Structure 1
């Protein structure tokens, strides 16, 4: 059985450097709750250089959510921003880091990057 959350964090860790996080430095821990406990994922960012581990230690920012919801977010089936608004995703500590990390999450199915959308519109018009 596939684990979208593990796949997301494994892929993030393999990137090594993420230009979208070039301005970010700090640690963010994701605490994902499920029936059997809490899964911890620690993301360390140093000017876009990324490391991911399963450590449960202090972090500059901590994001808490239900693991099922998080699975849907990283699969593109649930909107990250909507989950924040509904308070299904909560962050404490350095909220700036939580906002930065949003840049690497997938958008909803069928979503286009704004520049790609504008380019397609120009070709059609």
Structure 2
């Protein structure tokens, strides 16, 4: 497993209060394949909290991806919804968990908030 993926999962508990603000609760199992080997991550989400384990378990949803694609997701070089729509990864179960989890991924490099761009064009920095 790549260092970027390891760091991503390690960072989730500290980032959860900012990202998981709604009433979402559930477990998402993420299966990452490298050749013939599959690594399992179990992510339990609650409002403002997340627990991460390196195992399989009862889950409300399962997301299957190659480790290479997941590394591109955690570095902002790919987007989760687009990958599922292109059949580069698969997802089953509670789609709300997937949609909430994707908020942990960074924006693609060079992405700017359109509100920030508009403020700069109008001369306001507020």
TM-score range, shorter chain: 0.7 to 0.9
Other structure's SS at 1:123 match: coil
C-alpha contact (below 8 Å) 1:25/1:48 kept by paired residues: no
Q: 1:90 to 1:114 in 2, by over 3 A?
A: farther
C-alpha contact (below 8 Å) 1:43/1:52 kept by paired residues: yes
Distance in 1 (CA, whole Å) between partners of 2:39 and 2:118 is 39
Aligned to 1:106: 106
Other structure's SS at 1:91 match: strand
Moved over 4 A (4+): none
In the alignment of these two chains, the number of paired residues is 123
User: Which stretches in structure 1 are left out of the alignment for 5+ residues?
Assistant: none
Distance in 2 (CA, whole Å) between partners of 1:121 and 1:64 is 42
| Per-residue Cα deviation, 1:22-76 (whole angstroms, up to 9, x for no partner) | 2211111110011241111111111121111112112111110011010011011
Aligned to 1:83: 83
Query: In the alignment, does 2:15 pair up with 1:19?
Result: no
Q: TM-score, structure 2 length as denominator?
A: 0.85
Other structure's SS at 1:106 match: coil
User: Which stretches in structure 2 are left out of the alignment for 5+ residues?
Assistant: none
Q: TM-score, structure 1 length as denominator?
A: 0.85
| Per-residue Cα deviation, 1:85-122 (whole angstroms, up to 9, x for no partner) | 20112111111111111111111111123443333343
Give the root-mean-square deviation of aligned CA atoms: 2.0
Query: In the alignment, does 2:32 pair up with 1:37?
Result: no
